[in-house]
Structure 1
Amino acid sequence: MGDLISPVGSPLSSACSLSPPPSPMVYLSPPPSQDSEPSAASNDLPPARKKRRVTAPPKERRTQLLDLSATSGLSHAQQQSQIDLLTKTIRRHRKIVVIAGAGISTSAGIPDFRSTDGLFKSLQKKHNLKASGKLLFDAAVYQDENLTASFQDMVRSLSEEAAKTSPTAFHHMLARLGQEGRLTRLYTQNIDGIETSMPPLATQIPLNVKAPWPRTIQLHGSLDKVVCQKCRHLTDFDSAMFDRPDAPECPECSRNNQFRIETGQRSHGVGKMRPRIVLYNEHNPDEEAITSVMNADIRSRPDALIVVGTSLKIPGVRRLVKSLCHVIRSRRNGVTMWINNEPPVGRDFEDCWDLMVKGNCEEVARLANLKRWDDQSDSVFDECSLSEVERVKSEQDVSIVVQTQTPKKKQKTQTAAQDSQPCQPWTESQRGASGDQSDRTEEEGPTEGCTAQNQQEGTGDQECDHQFEVQGCQAPERCDRQQGTQAGKG
């Protein structure tokens, strides 16, 4: 057959022209899958550069000093910025860690340990010790009968003294933080048990190695419990057990030993009861659990640290404070505070604090002004300092315009006689007299004649265009109109 001919001829082409060849069909292949091997050309390209996350520059840190001691001679107004930092941290931060020492209990009547009139000095004089009273807090007290007798007497006295005390204002402040859920942890070195006497600061004895953990961690134990040195039997503290010079026997060991003897078994001996406190040169039974709690709190990245009432002589506590200071100060809003009568000892703490407060922690609680933990009343307002008020006023350029309105005058009930009397025009003598009375105030009211009708019809001062001509008449045009009406009637 011959060449194909188009079935329909175009008027612009000859009848025998060949049809144009069909355009080739292009098949768009799908993009290569991620599993396919890269081509050789793509291997020659340099790898894409990783995007760097732009971080804000670190916050400039400097240590501020706040002297709340009675001998400072500085008023609160002179230290307002430091007080604002103190109160703002306590009132607003959400993850606060507190490390407390014996200084928070001195206001309750419990002496501290290392001051000139502290417990170590008083024990040395009372028991005629050759060395410091620190010797009675050493594990060697159970190796000497005389030291054991002195230790028994000291423990009984401390327990009775702690039972008579009440929580201080600072204790209540800590309990309030715990009640609000803003106290991540309270590490206390005290053995008096004042903190844990309040439900928001309750603890657990012994501590669990794994979470959950209580809010209060007693680093050195407490006088609330006694434990057997042999079978680890745990029971509540009873001061009557320490009336004798030697350590009391464990009741659990005594029962088990008596049963063994009666059944013809060999005796295992009877253990001695002692307070569940950690003495120098002995192992802490909660060491593993405390280490787990510390590591978990460091990983949680708290936003505030308050070290109060301690001299940081214990190496383990010093390490914890340094680690927390490093983590918290790496946060832009993190704040670390030192509250004590004396500054921290050692150069390793020189660059650890945002605020160093010299003074009693009771004054800190007074400035924070938090409600007691058992106060269930709702706050109707939040307190703020003067500097916060000025800052808000400077940030918000708001001007308040109060538009004063002319008070509406009471409408007087008009009699028929007053309605029938038109307003009389003023004479020239009256106009002259009105000039002498130009100092009359608006409170003196308009003159008779115009007032009644003007008020009845609801006309205001805006309708009176000629007040400068006739004093007292608030609608002179209306008076002229009525005068013309009367003239027409006449």
Structure 2
Amino acid sequence: MARLIAHARPFPYPSPPASQQTTPPPGGMESTSASDKEGPPPAKRRKISKERSTEYLDLRGSEVPPNQDPELDQLLRVLHERRKIVVIAGAGISVSAGIPDFRSAGGLFRSLKDEHKLKGSGKDLFDASVYKDDTSTSSFHDMVSSMSRMTKEAAPTPFHHMLATIANEDRLLRLYSQNVDGIDTALEPLKTSVPLRKDEGGKWPKTVQLHGSLDKMVCSKCHELSDLNADLFSGPVPPACPNCEEFNSIRVNHEGKRSHGIGRLRPRMVLYNEGNPDDAAIGSVTTEDLRKRPDAVIVAGTTLKVPGVKRIVREMCKTVRNRRGGVAIWINTDLPPVAKELEDCFDIIVQGPCDEVARRAAMRKWDAPREQDECSQVTEDEMKNASLPPMWKHCPRSCI
């Protein structure tokens, strides 16, 4: 469930500006412009950069084409070895858990349109204007209640578990999730904080929820946060805030003061055409991660229709590919969207299900029991001679 919510306004998450500093002349010396010298200005030095190509890996079938073995090997190397991985994920990583995506033929936008007999798209139920009349509010509440129950019954996918394993090994720099299903943050290594903030040690959580989630509800007046109760969202009237009701009762009945009103509860997820309460924090996390220069970025299960997310992808890919050995990877059943800002973003385009990538990586689940000397039971010579994928033969983390 990602792409659920987005921003129709310009991208709200700031990224660090390009450096404009110039090297000053040595002390005591004045700089001399080209116009002060006789003759034509010196020719500008051209920066020669190594051209990078984009390779393709097709995982839609049972067998990988033989000519694509190097790409598969490189993909597995990244997943098992990189130390500062950034993942930007969308609805595609949750589809196998029974959570529908939004824009496909069988996605939520189409099914909600038919279910609620909407004149427009089901996308209209994710717009802030749903509160403008009783009919749209009632439909929105029905959808929230249904989706909340659906997400609570969903189990993490192999791809979710793979991300949790990478995080548990302290190799995941950040997961930027567009999903509101909460499947990722329910896993301990991928937990987050709501609202988004640093912990007592001054660190940001592993997962940044770009569009909020269905785990929490918030009061429109006092901003009190609580776990979302799907049973409260029924009919055209948003549920009243218990915190406001208690405060108002004390104020009116015991203090004899006039009422300040009672707020209404709503899911803490971001709808179209409204601001994100975590905008500033998301911008700070993004800036910090870019400064740390990740060694790999993986964009998985998203069609990149949201401008803000598209910019995060572009900035991360640019930073990763500008460092030596950095690798940017796209994983989806569809190819990346054709857009000027996404040109030359990826080193490897993997076309296939996200779970197939996790299956081939074959990582131990993050919470699986493990014997202390388990890895030492296989000698180096045995590993070299074993009939295993090339990447596994040199990866001490595979624990085969």
* 1:150 Cα deviation after fit: 0.4
1:238 aligns with 2:229: yes
Aligned counterpart for 1:341 among listed residues 317, 333, 336: 333
Aligned to 2:146, the other structure's residue is in SS state helix
Maintained 8 Å contact 2:73/2:389: no
- The letter of the residue matching 1:332 is R
Q: Which residue in 1 is equivalent to 2:356?
A: 363
1:293 aligns with 2:289: no
Map Cα deviations across residues 235-282 of structure 1 (whole Å, 9 max, x no partner): 111111113432100001111111122122111111100000000100
Aligned to 2:375, the other structure's residue is in SS state coil
Q: Which residue in 2 is equivalent to 1:94?
A: 83
> Quick one: distance in 1 between partners of 2:302 and 2:347?
17
Residues 299-338 of structure 1 mapped to structure 2, 5 A cutoff: 299-338=291-330
* 1:388 Cα deviation after fit: 6.0
> Quick one: distance in 1 between partners of 2:211 and 2:72?
32
Q: Which residue in 1 is equivalent to 2:347?
A: 354
**Over aligned residues, Cα RMSD in angstroms?**
2.2
Map Cα deviations across residues 314-346 of structure 1 (whole Å, 9 max, x no partner): 111111111111110011210000011112221
- The letter of the residue matching 1:343 is L
Structure 1, unpaired ranges of 5+: 1-37, 39-55, 392-490
Maintained 8 Å contact 2:294/2:320: yes
Maintained 8 Å contact 2:58/2:65: no
Maintained 8 Å contact 1:341/1:359: yes
- The letter of the residue matching 2:131 is Y
Maintained 8 Å contact 2:232/2:239: yes
> Quick one: distance in 2 between partners of 1:365 and 1:379?
21
Residues 177-326 of structure 1 mapped to structure 2, 5 A cutoff: 177-208=166-197, 211-262=202-253, 263-326=255-318
* 1:199 Cα deviation after fit: 0.4
- The letter of the residue matching 1:379 is C
1:136 aligns with 2:122: no
Aligned to 1:195, the other structure's residue is in SS state coil
Map Cα deviations across residues 110-167 of structure 1 (whole Å, 9 max, x no partner): 0001111101000000000000001000011111110100000000100111111100
> Quick one: distance in 2 between partners of 1:110 and 1:65?
28
Q: Which residue in 2 is equivalent to 1:6?
A: none
Q: Which residue in 2 is equivalent to 1:413?
A: none
> Quick one: distance in 1 between partners of 2:166 and 2:159?
11
Aligned to 1:271, the other structure's residue is in SS state coil
**Residues 370 and 237 from structure 1, CA distance in 2 versus in 1: closer, same or farther, beyond 3 angstroms?**
same
Maintained 8 Å contact 1:306/1:339: yes
Aligned to 1:379, the other structure's residue is in SS state helix
> Quick one: distance in 2 between partners of 1:114 and 1:76?
30
> Quick one: distance in 2 between partners of 1:341 and 1:389?
25
* 1:389 Cα deviation after fit: 9.5
Aligned counterpart for 1:112 among listed residues 75, 95, 101: 101
Maintained 8 Å contact 2:82/2:295: yes
Aligned counterpart for 2:367 among listed residues 374, 378, 382: 374
* 1:379 Cα deviation after fit: 3.2
Map Cα deviations across residues 376-429 of structure 1 (whole Å, 9 max, x no partner): 3143459785556999xxxxxxxxxxxxxxxxxxxxxxxxxxxxxxxxxxxxxx
> Quick one: distance in 2 between partners of 1:174 and 1:185?
10
> Quick one: distance in 1 between partners of 2:349 and 2:320?
16
Maintained 8 Å contact 1:108/1:168: yes
> Quick one: distance in 2 between partners of 1:106 and 1:247?
29
> Quick one: distance in 2 between partners of 1:375 and 1:387?
25
> Quick one: distance in 1 between partners of 2:309 and 2:65?
32
Deviating beyond 4 angstroms after TM superposition, the runs of 4 or more aligned structure 1 residues are 56-59, 380-391
Map Cα deviations across residues 6-44 of structure 1 (whole Å, 9 max, x no partner): xxxxxxxxxxxxxxxxxxxxxxxxxxxxxxxx9xxxxxx
Q: Which residue in 2 is equivalent to 1:172?
A: 161
Maintained 8 Å contact 2:198/2:205: no
Q: How many pairs does the alignment contain?
A: 335
- The letter of the residue matching 1:299 is R
Rg larger for:
1
Aligned to 1:365, the other structure's residue is in SS state helix
Maintained 8 Å contact 1:153/1:245: no
Maintained 8 Å contact 1:209/1:288: no
146-155 vs 344-353, which deviates more? 344-353
> Quick one: distance in 1 between partners of 2:148 and 2:100?
13
Aligned to 1:115, the other structure's residue is in SS state coil
1:123 aligns with 2:112: yes
- The letter of the residue matching 1:339 is I
Maintained 8 Å contact 1:68/1:360: yes
> Quick one: distance in 2 between partners of 1:75 and 1:203?
36
Residues 33-44 of structure 1 mapped to structure 2, 5 A cutoff: none
1:65 aligns with 2:56: yes
> Quick one: distance in 2 between partners of 1:78 and 1:325?
25
Maintained 8 Å contact 2:239/2:265: yes
RCO greater where, 1 or 2, for CA within 8 Å and sep 6 or more? 2
| Paired-residue identity, % | 50
**Residues 93 and 59 from structure 1, CA distance in 2 versus in 1: closer, same or farther, beyond 3 angstroms?**
farther
Structure 2, unpaired ranges of 5+: 1-27, 29-46, 395-400
